[in-house]
Structures are given as C-alpha cells and as structure tokens.
Amino acid sequence: LGDVMQESAKAALSFVRANSDILGLPQNHYQRHDIHLHVPSGSIPKDGPSAGVTIATAFASLFSHQPVKPEVGMTGEITLQGQVLPVGGIKEKVIAAHRAGLSTLVLPKRNEKDLDDIPTETRQQLKFVLVDRVEEVFAEALLQTNTNINTNNSTNQNLDS
C-alpha cells in the first residue's frame, strides 16, 4: 500500500477506536485483538485517501459484528475527527460501482457537484447518500447499526435528471 492509503487506514482505525461508544463497544475492546489489514491484488498499486470511509466501515463492521450491506459502495477521505472529505474520480467510481451491481453509493457531500458528470441513465438507477461525517456512513452501510448519530444532515436522493 502507498503511504497515503496507509495513513488513511491508520486514521480509520484511530477514529473507530476513539468512538467505540457509537458502535456499542467497551473502550478496552481493542486491547484483546491484533489487526492486520490486507488489500488483495498485490500487483495493482494502491494509494490515495479515497478508501478512508471504506476502511473505517470495515473496522466498524469487524468490531461490532454488524455486516456491511452488500448493495452499498462508498468512497471518501476521513479525518481523525470523523469528517468525510471530498475525493477525485467520482464519475469513474460511480460507473464502476454501477457495473458491479451496487445500488446505493455513499459519497462525500462536498462531491455533490461531481454527480452532474455521471450519465443520466446511470444516475437514475442509483441511490446516492451524501455525507459529512463517518457516523452517517456507518448508519447507511451497516446492518442493524448501533450508531446513535442524528443523520438528518445527510442527503438521500435518487438523481433523475
């Protein structure tokens, strides 16, 4: 993994550890576990911050035993404070997710303008959830989530224009 992706993984783990309460976990839960993050396809270089929310969601799923909804895809950089920051390549990522059969995509709210670049037919077949916070990602992506976050700030929409 590249340096930026390694930093994203560290930020994701730090956020999940620091916010154990939103997942219903005791603070010392992590002291009993070793963690190894493996990203397959070793011959394909991987770097950049875009996987931050995905890695955080994977850790949240692992520790809380709440599976990730199989129809949900996501992208976004995260901060240690849990903010979701915009990323590049939204058009390509959305088209790839659509081709892979996903029906719901969680994206940074600050990438909303990039949705205009996506073909209308593709946009109409997807549900977009635009978020500012990692907790909003967990609320959308995890089955039977224990998060107590108010997600009224997220924008759920089917774009049909």
The string of DSSP letters for 33-79 reads: -------S-TTS---SSTTHHHHHHHHHHHHHT-PBPTTEEE--EE-
Residue predicted with more confidence, 21 or 85: 85
Confidence of residue 43 (pLDDT cuts 50, 70, 90): low
Domain range list for the chain = 3-157
Annotated catalytic residues are 50, 93
Tell me, which fold does domain 3-157 have in CATH? Ribosomal Protein S5; domain 2 (3.30.230)
Average pLDDT over residues 40-53: 70
Residues 6+ apart with CB under 8 A from 79: 11, 85
pLDDT bracket for residue 154 (50, 70, 90)? very low
